[in-house]
Amino acid sequence: MSINVTVWNEYRHELSDEKVRAIYPDGIHGAIAAGLQDHADFVVRTATLDEPDQGLPPAVLDSTDVLLWWGHKAHPEVPDELVDRVQRRVLDGMGLLVLHSGHESKIFQRLMGTKASLKWREATDKERIWIVQPGHQIAHGLGEYIELPREEMYGEFFDIPQPDELIMISWFTGGEIFRSGCCFYRGKGKIFYFRPGHESYPTYFNPEIRKVIANGVRWARPVDGPAPFSGVHPANAPLEPLPPEND
């Protein structure tokens, strides 16, 4: 069965910064989508902030099984109404992958109930991403760790709820560590936060990073497809006979 995947990107750095455009000429969303299009079971489309309805009109969002979210400098420009709709879709079962600086997105903060703040340093750190749940679906096909020669550093304390599953922990040259692969369950939906992917580095062309993202999509896919839940439970018949009212 195919998985309908939408890759959302604010798409601002690539248009305003020559260095970023040289790394991602088709946009960060284009690079991520290209990695997913190698998988026959994925039906992939892209969406960006400056498109009508921020690229996610109801028809697109309602037909998305897994949404990927990359944002950085334009978090405040995402309308609260869109955040409401994405949140409802996640609670109804749509999977959500939040990438890199998407930790400060309105939707991630809403679903976490925190500011998701952290330490950071944009320098020449090497990142070693250790797999601490090697039997998890997201770690399928990976070795003990993934090593990136240069990445932006994120460090603890990362202000998020305790992850329901912690899949990866990063170590950086400067000595910091970070919970870099975190799984959460909200309603019927599954959320995977994955740390690497700063716009100044070609991280989304790395085959192992692409493997993690593809594995994350398969993990986050809805079990039976997203289905709206009214929030009202019907008064079903009891499983066991009830005692008489006068007892």
Residue 48: give its domain's CATH number: 3.40.50.880
For residue 194, being part of any structural domain is answered with yes
- Of 143, 231, 144, 224, nearest to 190 by C-alpha is 224
pLDDT tier, 105 (very low <50, low <70, confident <90, very high otherwise):
very high
Which residues span the domain enclosing 90?
3-112+181-220
Predicted TM-score of the model (pTM):
0.93
Q: Which residues of 16-40 are buried (b: 16+ CB within 10 A; e: fewer)?
A: eeeebeebbeebbbbbbbebbeebe
For residue 27, being part of any structural domain is answered with yes
CA dist 193 and 18 (Å) reads 28
Taken in order 164, 107, 26, 121, is the CA torsion positive or negative?
Answer: negative
For residue 216, being part of any structural domain is answered with yes
Write down the residue that tokens 């869109």 correspond to.
Answer: 82
Q: Is the pLDDT of residue 54 over 60?
A: yes
Contact 83, 106 (CB under 8 A): yes
What are 243's two structure tokens? 């005692």
Q: How do strand 42-48 and strand 119-131 relate by DSSP bridges?
A: unpaired
pLDDT of residue 229: 57
For residue 65, being part of any structural domain is answered with yes
Q: What is the mean pLDDT of the chain?
A: 95
Look at the chain and report how many structural domains it folds into: 1
For residue 234, being part of any structural domain is answered with no
For residue 141, being part of any structural domain is answered with no
Bigger pLDDT: 247 vs 62: 62
For residue 156, being part of any structural domain is answered with no
For residue 123, being part of any structural domain is answered with no
Share of residues in the chain with pLDDT > 70 (%): 95
